[in-house]
Amino acid sequence: MSSMDIVDYQIFGQDSQYVEIELDPGEAAVGEAGAMLFMEQDILMETVFGDGSASNQAKGFFGKLMKAGGRLVTGESLFTTVYMHQGRMGKRKVAFAAPYQGQIVPMHLSQLGGELICQRDSFLCAAKGVSLSIAFQKKIGTGLFGGEGFIMQRLQGDGLAFVHAGGTLIERSLRPGEKIRVDTGCLAALMPTVDYDIEYVGGLKTAFFGGEGLFFASLTGPGKVWLQSLPLSRLANRIVRAAPGGVGETSVLGGLGGAVMGGLFGDD
Amino acid sequence: MLNSDTVIRGQFFSPTSPIQGEPITAYSESTDLVIAGIKNSSELLRLPLIALKPRYGGFNREQVYFDWESPQGEVCSVCFSAKDAELLMAQAPATVVQSYQQVHHEQTKRKRRSNIGLGMLLFYLGLPFLLLLVLFWKSHQIAAWIADYVSIEQEQALGELVFASATDGMKLRQTGYDYEVLKRIGERLTQGSAYQYHWYIADTAEVNAFAVPGGYVVANTGLLKAADSAEEVAGVLAHEVQHVEQRHTLEDIIYRLGWQTSIALIVGDVSSLWVTQAATQLNSLKFSRELEAEADLKGLEALHKAGIAPQGLVSFFEKLAKDEANLGIPAFLSTHPASDQRSTNLKNAIKQQEGWSTIPLPYDWEQVKAALPAK
């Protein structure tokens, strides 16, 4: 039933993880450029324009260009690297490392309805055949204040994909109509069935002194969502603030301005 | 029984279904929504439409969810694409789909608002680029349009300033036989002009002549020396005078100032003293190829009107073209269209003008040359 390569994997590490993928002869995995940690003999590394998925090959040159452009917008590079086991026999391993402290989550796209939306830049690696594209946030309020910006990443296919996010990842299954409110920026991934909106924190006092900003992200089921406990932007902000002479995000206005710009360009 | 022409596919969510939902088909029958194809159940699920709570949901609110509570108190939901939901609801009596209509209406309104907002945001972000594009596309027209608002008096006042800075360090004179000849040729060319012309000779070997807004025309002795007849000088003067008549310099100044201002506005670096930069660039007095070509053609018209043989202009360019090949490009020509091309264009233009009656210029050019200072 599947045109995807089925891969075995193992995730190592606690806070700084890497994933080891085992390939049978002829099988391939695609990795985000720069994410590869090591690979064994017989594995051939080939860089392709776009994401190496079948849907990519079907379209003409212009289609390829558009898709690759989409990758650029979501913070990935124009090229992906395909790691293929070219040997005759035996299993060979290739490993991909997370770029910062956090967790790697395996996503079985076939069990998730074939589609997943995640935050920009969170794709790590996948079985060959998983396609990557833009999920454009059309709700202006969510785009501006939802913490993930207007552009997110859409993974499609029925294979296995590995997504990386900061801190500890929390997986939540939401029943139909069940709603959770999340600090903006902490959303790592969601199924397309989940409604992603913003909600005013309520009350001027809370808005300005509650420390959570003006809006929550509100997520309504059905579907699964993945939350990250420590978005990279927050970590970076703390580091900047702690650095000698560093100026952190201190004023209320600065926070608001940051939210707007972050919303536009995706600060996570 | 399934109504065959309206089979609509959707996703069904219940506590027992997988997280991504299970595929079902649905149709509406009188006041009920009928769902078929639920796993582990051979029966059709029949729901009264009036009891369903509709809402738009999904990542971009492109699906419609109908939520309800099962008899056991579990929340279930069925989801359709917005289009399919509309089809389904269109078949049901209006009284039972009121809540859907309301949600649908609100969503349409919301979407429109969001689109307007998004459009405005994009417009705002793209505005500097849009301005730059318009500027790039219509820059000369805009400059010409602004130049129309500058009166001749203002232009002359500006011209004085530019003249002072452009001729700084030059040896200018308004005496001598060569000056008299130059002035007389110039006056013949500028008869009936709105500008008050001032003619100057600069004692420089460089083959050059230039005009400044408001009617200041300077010819180098190098130019007079290089010319073989009064008609050639008349041709060059006719060309330079057109830069004044057509307000090329003025437009050029406005053009440069406009560009620098807009770049400063877009880049945000206003501190880079653009005013002084613009002022220093005025000295160069260079024009675009289009303006040069225009000056050529209008100069030809002026020669026609003044009854001066136009061949001088052509032959002078041809001479310069030869120099261009031999000695590298003279300053006079650096931004000018290739001389070869220009003389061809001019010849064509001369051919088109009919009945060219000429009165020869009554000056012995050898005598003028002899009157030039020795160096």
Mean pLDDT, chain A, as a whole number?
Answer: 82
Judge: A222–B18 Cβ closer than 8 Å, yes or no.
Answer: no
Beta bridge partners of A162: A106, A125
Judge: B114–A140 Cβ closer than 8 Å, yes or no.
Answer: yes
Strands B216-220 and B198-202: parallel
Burial class (CB in 10 A: 0-12, 13-18, 19+), A139: buried
| Per-residue pLDDT at A105 | 94
Q: What share of chain B is helix, strand, coil (3-state, %, to 5)?
A: 55, 15, 30
Is B121 in the A-facing interface, judged by CB distances under 8 Å?
A: yes
Chain A residue numbers with beta carbons less than 8 Å from the beta carbon of B21 are 113, 193, 222
Judge: B61–A139 Cβ closer than 8 Å, yes or no.
Answer: yes
Mean pLDDT, chain B, as a whole number?
Answer: 81
Judge: A113–B15 Cβ closer than 8 Å, yes or no.
Answer: no
Judge: A141–B58 Cβ closer than 8 Å, yes or no.
Answer: no
Q: Region A140-157: what's the mean pLDDT?
A: 87
Chain A residue numbers with beta carbons less than 8 Å from the beta carbon of B56 are 195
Nearest to A220 among B57, B60, B117 (CB): B57
Give the start-end residues of each E strand in chain B: 8-13, 22-29, 32-36, 45-48, 53-57, 63-69, 75-81, 172-173, 198-202, 209-212, 216-220
| Higher-confidence position of B171 and B80 | B80
Interface test with A, best of B11, B12, B20, B118 (most A CBs within 10 A): B20
> How far apart are the CA of B75 and the nearest CA of chain A, in angstroms?
6
> How far apart are the CA of A40 and the nearest CA of chain B, in angstroms?
36
> What is each CA distance from B343 to B7, B308, B339, in whole angstroms?
77, 17, 6
> What is each CA distance from A155 to A32, A121, B304, in whole angstroms?
13, 12, 74
| Per-residue pLDDT at B282 | 46
| Per-residue pLDDT at A251 | 42
Per-residue DSSP letter, B141: H
Minimum Cα–Cα distance from A225: chain B residue: B19
Chain B residue numbers with beta carbons less than 8 Å from the beta carbon of A140 are 114, 117-118, 121
Q: Region B300-306: what's the mean pLDDT?
A: 85
By percentage, how much of chain B surpasses pLDDT 70?
84
Q: For A59-79, write each residue's pLDDT tens digit.
A: 566 666 776 666 666 666 667
Contact call for residues B210 and B218 (beta carbons, < 8 A): yes
Chain A residue numbers with beta carbons less than 8 Å from the beta carbon of B20 are 111-114, 191, 193, 223
Q: What is the Cα–Cα distance from B108 to B129, expressed in whole angstroms?
A: 31
| Per-residue pLDDT at B233 | 87
| Per-residue pLDDT at B277 | 57
> How far apart are the CA of B116 and the nearest CA of chain A, in angstroms?
9
Interface test with B, best of A107, A109, A134, A140 (most B CBs within 10 A): A140
B206: tokens are 């460089």
| Higher-confidence position of B314 and A178 | A178
Beta bridge partners of A227: A170, A187
Q: For A92-136, write each residue's pLDDT tens digit.
A: 999 999 999 999 999 999 989 899 999 988 899 998 888 888 888
Q: Radius of gyration of chain B from Cα atoms?
A: 39
User: What number of CA atoms fall less than 13 Å from residue A203's CA on the CB side?
Assistant: 6
Supply the pTM of this predicted model.
Answer: 0.65
> What is each CA distance from B28 to A141, B7, B96, in whole angstroms?
35, 10, 11
Contact call for residues A267 and A166 (beta carbons, < 8 A): no
Which residues of A sit within 8 Å Cβ distance of B? 111-114, 117, 135-141, 143, 173, 175-178, 190-196, 220, 222-224, 264
How would residue A4 be classed by pLDDT, with cut points 50, 70 and 90?
low
| Per-residue pLDDT at B55 | 93
Q: Region B252-256: what's the mean pLDDT?
A: 78
A76: tokens are 């990935």
Q: For A233-256, write each residue's pLDDT tens digit.
A: 888 989 999 988 655 444 444 444
Minimum Cα–Cα distance from A194: chain B residue: B58
> How far apart are the CA of B57 and the nearest CA of chain A, in angstroms?
5
Nearest to B77 among A135, A222, A224 (CB): A222
Q: For B126-178, write each residue's pLDDT tens digit.
A: 887 887 788 778 777 887 888 888 888 888 888 888 888 878 888 888 888 88
Q: Region A86-93: what's the mean pLDDT?
A: 90
Per-residue pLDDT for B275 more than 60? no
